Amino acid sequence: LKSFDQSNNLSFHIAFTEISSNIRGKHWRVDSDRNNCYIHSIDKNGDCKYKFIWIKEIIEDIKPTHVVLGGWRTRFYKDIYKFSKSKDIRTGFWFEPPNYTLNKITQYVLYLYAKFVVNNADFVFSIGDRSEMYYKKILKNPQNVYLLTYGQNLDDFRQIPENFFLDDITFLFSGQ
């Protein structure tokens, strides 16, 4: 996050719609020193309407060029999607692959529902190649599905001597 924060060409905000807790993985918890800077965490649990009003105020205040949603199956996400699109904000999703352990009928119903809800998204960040293949079949413009890998094996890089690099190197690592 700090690498993003230092960029002159990019600003970003993250909004957590669930209260931060120890139940959530450490990487999903909110640092109190970052809260209200570019990480926003809802102040109390509430219903979909409460969450929508809260996130709508953030969108109106920040005026983002893009909104990335982490879900699509609840009314809450559909309302945010519609609101963002009404403000001419490029809106898309961050998706893992679907749950292939569900029975075939449920998978098919969810596929049809996703095709209806997600079809006109401006973009999808697909996490993993199975997700990429799945959402390319759903999006009206499949070229707007972008693959994000789960992680990288960095073992080979750990063998590079510390003095190998003459200048500082900055890169973004996404994964576990």
pLDDT tens for each residue of the chain, 176 residues long? 444 444 556 677 777 776 666 565 555 555 544 444 576 777 777 787 888 888 899 899 888 888 988 887 777 888 999 999 999 999 999 888 888 899 999 999 989 988 888 898 999 999 888 899 999 999 999 999 999 876 666 666 666 666 655 555 555 544 43
Q: What's residue 161's pLDDT?
A: 64
Q: How far apart are alpha carbons 104 and 109 in whole angstroms?
A: 9
Q: What's residue 13's pLDDT?
A: 73
Q: How far apart are alpha carbons 25 and 131 in whole angstroms?
A: 22
Q: What's residue 109's pLDDT?
A: 92
Q: How far apart are alpha carbons 163 and 80 in whole angstroms?
A: 49
Q: What's residue 123's pLDDT?
A: 92
Q: What's residue 96's pLDDT?
A: 87
Q: Is beta strand 66-69 parallel, antiparallel or unpaired with respect to 145-148? A: unpaired
Q: What's residue 14's pLDDT?
A: 74
Q: What's residue 55's pLDDT?
A: 87
- CB atoms closer than 10 angstroms to residue 85: 15
Q: What's residue 78's pLDDT?
A: 87
